[in-house]
Each structure stands twice: as C-alpha cells, then as structure tokens.
C-alpha cells in the first residue's frame, strides 16, 4: 500500500496571534527558547512555516525569510539579496522525530532582529509559489497545493488512513514521510562500499537500513534497495513504467531463456550500475532545487503556469541535465 502524505502546514502568524492553523515563530522567540533547546527549536507540528530574519553580508540589507518546511533532515535555500542581488544561502536542519529544527546562515548572511518594512522572502522546500505572492507576507500557497495533492492521491488509490496504522508504522516505509534524500545518503554509502569491493561493510549498511526503514519487509540486497527507492521516487504517476518493466522481465522466466538472459545481463550490468549510480548522485546533489517541483511531477500534476521556484541554483540544475 502507498501512503499519501497530506503536507499539512501549520500557519504561524507573525503577530504572533493564535490562529486556527497555528503560530509563526520569529527570531525573538527562537532566541528566547535557545537556553532550553540547546540550539534547536521545538514546534507543535513538523509541517509549518518558520519566519527568520537575516541581513545580507555584502550590503547589510535586512530580510524576513518565511521558510516552508519539507520532509528531509536538511533543506538549503538560495536567493538573491533584495538589496544588492548577491546570492544568500541558508539551511534548515530538521529532526522530524523530535519535532525540532534549527536555521543556519551558510553564506553571505547573518541572523538579525526583524526590521519593520524589510523585504519578505518566501522560500519552500517542496512547493512553488505564484509569482505575485513572492514578497508578500502571510500568504500560504502550500495549503491549496496540499488539497490538490490529496485529490491526486485519491485518484491514484494511494490514500491511507494513518490513524488505523500501528504507531511504529509511521516511521517505516511505505508510510514514513518521503525523506528520500536522507535515505539516499544511506544507500549511497552502501553502494559505494560495494562498488569499491567492500562487500561485507556494504551488507552491514544494508542490514542497518533495512532494520530502520523496512523492518516488516527486509531488504534482500543492494539491487533490491535501489529498486525500492526508485519505485518510491516515481510513485504513483510513473509506476506503470515499472509495471511494464516487470512484465517484460517476467517473460524471461521461461527455462530456455534464462541462460541467454543471464549471459547478456553480465555483459551490461557493470556499465549500467555505474550509469544508474551517477543518475542518483546527480539528482540528489541538486535535490534542494528539484524537490520544489518533485511532488507535482511524481503525482502527475501539472505545475501551475507561471509559478516560480523559491530557491534558485541554475548551475546545479543545468549540470544535472547536462550530465544525465
């Protein structure tokens, strides 16, 4: 069964005023919480908007950045300074299990108190926004997208009532949030170890990941893991492609065809494995950019005409398409 994640987002009002959807937390609240949170900040829900004030390291322009949380353990956002147009880079580290997060200035910026009238910058890990809403305060386009994605999941038959599942099921595939970048880090290490001849270490990594992510349906080997992650990444819109591939492979089950197929597979397996590894590596090296439209594409939804990504790293995107 496939689990649809509703992407429920808690609205955090900058007043701060209690709303039906939640609160928006500011730098002042962050600093007040720090003595108790050891650098990380707790929230009442992991899908929310965080408000963070920073200033440009080049020209000193202040910004109020509204960050839409994603599903992975880290998300990076890049945008041009509204004063001098130099690139600003910030990162949010998340621990969804503990419902905690921490924003870090990475390049050309530093934390500051919010300045009244400072430009608003909306960034989101998993959604695009209408261009007319960039720079506006208290807008939440992800709410509308969440509904659209729920409808797409219903059409695909992938809606699951999470309340009917055992509590521990929500931290396992297929019901775990789609933190595919985090899973890729685990798979990449096991894949690299196997590629370099460290088979025993690779198997150990696979067993550890299996216990964490797939305890009720253990991973058989590295190939099984690659196949499963590919299935999750392309589900549900591209699943028919995998179904057709499985039917084609099924024809090889005839005893008289197995030797010829095995011989052919041995001649291409190594080269194809290298090609697949590079595709995965290139995709996830730019996942912070691709994830902004990934959920639209994987669910077969049209990206609304004229909508914009909120983080822009053209070089990374160009390199992916050039190399792949």
Sign of the CA dihedral running 122, 128, 129, 131: positive
| 142 shares its domain with 37 | yes
Instruction: Copy the structure tokens of residue 224.
Output: 């099984």
Please report whether residue 133 resides in a domain.
yes
| 132 shares its domain with 173 | no
| 116 shares its domain with 181 | no
206, exposed or middle or buried, with CB in 10 Å at 0-12, 13-18, 19+? Answer: buried
Please report whether residue 9 resides in a domain.
no
Please report whether residue 177 resides in a domain.
yes
Range of the domain at 170: 166-323
| 184 shares its domain with 115 | no
d(CA 153, CA 165): 18
Domains held by the chain: number: 2
| Cα distances (angstroms) measured from residue 161 to each of 164, 169, 237 | 6, 12, 21
| 127 shares its domain with 203 | no
Please report whether residue 20 resides in a domain.
no
| 178 shares its domain with 274 | yes
Please report whether residue 266 resides in a domain.
yes
| Cα distances (angstroms) measured from residue 240 to each of 60, 235, 246 | 52, 9, 10
Q: Angle of helix 258-285 relative to helix 287-298, nearest 10 degrees?
A: 120
Please report whether residue 285 resides in a domain.
yes
pLDDT in tens, the chain (324 residues): 333 333 322 222 232 222 223 345 555 544 444 333 334 444 444 458 899 999 999 999 999 999 999 888 899 999 999 999 999 999 999 988 777 889 999 999 999 999 999 999 999 988 888 889 999 998 887 877 877 888 888 887 778 888 888 888 888 998 888 899 999 999 999 999 999 999 999 999 999 999 999 999 999 999 999 999 998 988 888 888 878 887 887 777 677 777 877 787 788 888 888 888 988 998 898 887 888 888 888 888 888 787 777 766 666 666 666 666
| 170 shares its domain with 316 | yes
Please report whether residue 160 resides in a domain.
no
| 131 shares its domain with 207 | no
d(CA 52, CA 59): 18
Of 97, 125, 150, which residue sits at a domain end? 150
| 189 shares its domain with 134 | no
């Amino acid at each position: 069964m496939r689990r649809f994640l509703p992407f429920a987002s808690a609205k955090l009002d900058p007043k701060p005023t209690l709303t039906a959807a939640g609160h928006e937390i500011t730098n002042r609240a962050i600093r007040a919480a720090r003595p108790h949170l050891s650098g990380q900040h707790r929230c009442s829900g992991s899908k929310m908007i965080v408000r963070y004030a920073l200033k440009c390291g080049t020209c000193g322009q202040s910004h109020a950045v509204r960050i839409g949380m994603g599903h992975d353990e880290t998300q990076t956002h890049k945008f041009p300074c509204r004063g001098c147009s130099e690139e600003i880079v910030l990162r949010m580290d998340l621990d969804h299990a503990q419902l905690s997060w921490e924003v870090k200035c990475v390049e050309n910026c530093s934390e500051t108190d919010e300045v009244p009238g400072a430009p608003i910058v909306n960034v989101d890990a998993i959604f695009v926004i209408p261009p007319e809403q960039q720079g506006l305060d208290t807008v939440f386009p992800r709410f509308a997208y969440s509904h659209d994605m729920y409808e797409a999941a219903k059409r695909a038959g992938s809606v699951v009532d999470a309340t009917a599942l055992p509590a521990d099921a929500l931290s396992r595939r297929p019901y775990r949030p789609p933190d595919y970048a985090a899973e890729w880090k685990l798979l990449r290490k096991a894949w690299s170890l196997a590629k370099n001849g460290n088979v025993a270490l690779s198997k150990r990594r696979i067993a550890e990941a299996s216990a964490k992510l797939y305890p009720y349906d253990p991973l058989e080997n590295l190939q099984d893991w690659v196949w499963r992650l590919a299935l999750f990444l392309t589900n549900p819109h591209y699943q028919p492609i995998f179904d057709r591939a499985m039917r084609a492979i099924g024809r090889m089950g005839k005893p008289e065809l197995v030797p010829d197929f095995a011989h052919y597979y041995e001649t291409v397996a190594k080269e194809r494995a290298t090609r697949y590894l590079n595709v995965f590596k290139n995709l996830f090296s730019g996942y912070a950019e691709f994830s902004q439209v990934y959920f639209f594409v994987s669910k077969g939804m049209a990206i609304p005409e004229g909508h914009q990504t909120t983080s822009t790293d053209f070089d990374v995107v160009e390199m992916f398409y050039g190399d792949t």
